[in-house]
Structure formats: C-alpha cells, structure tokens
Amino acid sequence: MTSATDGRDIREITVTRLIAAPRAVVWQAWTDPKLMAKWWGPKGFKVKVSNMDLRPGGTYHYCMQSPDGNDMWGKFVYREVVKPERLVLVNSFSDAQGNITRHPMSPSWPREMLSTFTFSEENGQTKVTVTWIPLNPTDIERKTFEEGMASMQQGWTGTMDQFAAFLAADRAAA
C-alpha cells in the first residue's frame, strides 16, 4: 500500500517483467513514439496516433483502435524522465484534443493514474517494473480501481507480452 498524494492508503498495481533486450533498447522502445505505436496497449489494439514530447511537463498523446474499431484516446504527462532508468507520469484517458476524459467503458475509473516505469539491467536483459496507483481518487474511484486490479494485472501482462514479442521480432530482423 502507498499513498497517491491525498494521505490515504491506496493499493497499487505492480507488474514486473524480464525482457530479453539491453536496457538502452528497452528505453528507446518506451521513449520513441514511432516504436511505441508498434507495441503499446492491450492485446488486439492498434495505435493510430502517437505523439510524444519526452520531458518533464511534456506529453505522450495517443489513440488506440480496439479490435471492434472504436477509438480510445489517452495521454501521459511526464513528471520525471531519468534516462535510461525511470519514467514517472500521470496517465489518463483523453479526447482527440488531449483533454482529460473518463474511461470510455468504466465511468467510475480514476481520472488520473500516477504511473512509474523503472528499467534495470540484469545480465544483459532488462527488468521492467510498472507501478500504477490512482491519483487523488474519490472513494468510488478507489473502489473501482481496487475491484479492477485483477483485470489491470491481466491487461498489463498482455501489454508486456506484446512488448517482448515486438522487441524479439525487431531484434531478429536487425
């Protein structure tokens, strides 16, 4: 448990994955919008728009298309960029103009998530750790988040599977 700025204990989601690639390669795939477009998001989703300004205060604004053809916009606002070790950002759903919106399928989902991504070297591979916690959630947002933790864990596992497959294919082609 930890607190996301409001002083209350909130459970966080943490997913860790060992990726068979050097940290510099992993970092580039997380910080180059063209590369992010090739792997970012849940399984079956395709990134249609991928615009990034990688600096504290900068944003990553993207649009994913779901398997049924619906567009879902999202936005990161970077708080920390420590090459090649860590990204800290606030993640939210958005509209095409970058305004924060509610989750399109879960209106009581937290509007903003504090997300930390760490990248550490381990014998030529990279350990990626993702931590998500609601940022200043209402009581209903906290409850929705905690009830959705298993689904989020599954979603992040799928995203990490896509990421690992992308890097393996990219390295095989090189």
What is the reported pLDDT for 3?
46
> Residue 163: what are its φ and ψ, rounded to 5°?
-60, -50
> What distance in Å separates the CA atoms of residue 131 and residue 12, rounded to the nearest whole number?
7
CATH superfamily of 2-45+79-92+105-173: START domain (3.30.530.20)
Q: Three-state SS across 56-125?
A: CCCEEEEEEECCCCCEEEEEEEEEEEECCCEEEEEEEEECCCCCEECECCECCCCCCEEEEEEEEEECCE
Instruction: Provide the residue-wise pLDDT of the chain in tens; the chain has 174 residues.
Output: 444 555 567 889 999 999 999 999 999 999 999 999 999 988 889 999 999 999 999 999 999 999 999 999 999 999 999 999 999 999 999 999 999 999 988 999 999 999 999 999 999 999 999 999 999 999 999 999 999 998 888 888 889 999 999 998 866 665
pTM: 0.90
Q: Tokens 């509007």 correspond to what residue?
A: 111
